[in-house]
Amino acid sequence: MAEIELSVLAAQCLDQRLPDPGTPARARAGRARLQAPPHMTAPRRRRTGGIAWWFQQAGPGSKDDGILSPLVPGALGGWLAALERHGTMDRATVFAPAIEYAEGGVPLTLNNHRLWSLATERLRRWPTSGAQFLRGDEPPPAGAILRQPDLARTFRAIIEGGAEAFYRGPIGRAIARFSQEHGGILTEEDMADYEPAWQAPIATTYRGYDILCPPPPCSGIQYLQTLNIVEGFDLAGMGQNSAEYIHHLAEAMKLAVADRATYAPNPAAPVAGLLSKGYAAARRALIDPARAAYSGGERFTARKLPQEVHAGSPASLARESTTHFVAIDGRGNAVACTQTLGGTFGCGVVHGSTGLLLNNFAHWFDDDPASPNVIAPRKRVEMCLAPSQVWRDGRPFLLVGTPGSFGIMQTPPQMLLNVLDFGFSVQAAIEAPRFRTMTGYELPLEGRIPPAVVRELERRGHQPRALDDWTMFFGGGQGLMVDPDSGAFLAGADPRRDGYALAF
């Protein structure tokens, strides 16, 4: 409720849960994924070009914002499935605080105001959105109270009817009706067809720790690969955020990005091969310790430049604008959850009197038919949400995650390495300066990284670009560590955005 512009019922979420006490020491990945509407067949699309052709004809930006951009939302289904399987409270108890905040109001922070100011024009386009989020057609100032009575009524309907009310009942029908009346693509059948899924996580090892994240088409496999590649380097000897360290980690990230963009969207992604240590060694050997490589960027491109980093061939070795939080209770039950509307205010459209903003996850599909992530009926979008868990000796040790678009797969490795290689506390690991690889040789980094390091990175062929000392461009990590000796909980929150570590 405090980040309504980033996450709500009609968002997407990925979470990982630690097992209940007494069950095997294996994490579960609960997946509430967005999927392309099942009904998107002829005449909505042409046989020669599929849905991608249809979006191309709808015009630039049609899948990025507005009434055409929502996919079937998954967060609510995931929340309730997790509550039913692992929860200790009923729906009324769980939703009571949210209803209180929706009716009584939430004060807006400076960060809320900044994000809302950037989205004002989009909200003005839709009377339902402007009425709910703007004041006199302008974004409310920090300190203003946001009340959402329509959303509170939707919460109460969910208490009474559960997921059935949302997907196959009055809420789902209202969402579909508004979409159809305003030229959208969601139908009652699309909503009714949705079911969340439980899947086993994927994992790798790093210096004796087990690192787990949700499986593809979640993009988290990228940072597992990154860790596999850099495991072969003496990172501690290089020094935290030295030029040597940043260069080697950035080059490993570029290799992992190329593999993720090529393989992760595929339902039969070669996970075992991508995460094998032999494959990591082969990819590591491609890193030039003295010279930066050219990255093709964070999304799939059909036409590759000769000099850019290309995806590898794991089959030759083995025959495979967001919110994040972590929580743990006194019994040791814990969850790492990343959820998002896909961008600030999602599609920008409050759907009728439901009070619900829907996502804009059509943006995260490609419209290039050659892409493995091309949009198609019933297809689940490859998504850069990557909550992570670190285990040691069969016990949970560290849970971290972050928002941040494709940067989500580059921030967790930096936070994890700060703990595992450099011995930082969870708070210090989150606060440390960050960087991110982009297209070509571009390397944005926070201004706290010393000028001498920046100059050395330039000498190696990178194009470093210093941003603010603290910036949301590099996410907003939240983390929780379990002391291996005492079992005490140690939490950290990111000062780059609104976030808190609380115990009660």
Which residue is it, tokens 């009706």?
177
Q: Which residues contact 120 (CB under 8 A, 6 or more apart)?
A: 134, 138, 139
The H or E element that residue 491 is part of is strand 489-493
Buried b (16+ CB within 10 A) or exposed e, 474-493: bbbbbbbbbeeeeeebebbb
Question: What is the rounded distance in angstroms from the CA atom of residue 427 to the CA atom of residue 155?
Answer: 34
Q: How many residues does the chain have?
A: 504
360, with CB counted inside 10 A (0-12, 13-18, 19+), is buried
Which tokens is 481 given?
A: 């560590």
Q: What is the DSSP string of 118-153?
A: HTHHHHHTSHHHHHHH-BTTBPPPTTPEE--HHHHH
State how beta strands 463-466 and 442-445 pair: parallel
DSSP bridge partners of 193: none
Cβ(87)–Cβ(94) below 8 Å: yes
Which tokens is 71 given?
A: 């996919």
Q: Which of 204, 322, 354, 411 is catalytic?
A: 322
From residue 172, how far is each of 51, 234, 341 by CA, in Å?
A: 23, 53, 17
Give the CA dihedral 278, 280, 282, 288, nearest 10 degrees: -150
State how beta strands 197-199 and 395-401 pair: unpaired
Which tokens is 339 given?
A: 């959820």
Question: What is the rounded distance in angstroms from the CA atom of residue 349 to the CA atom of residue 128?
Answer: 7
322 is a catalytic site residue: yes
Question: What is the rounded distance in angstroms from the CA atom of residue 290 to the CA atom of residue 248?
Answer: 9
What is the set of active-site residues? 322
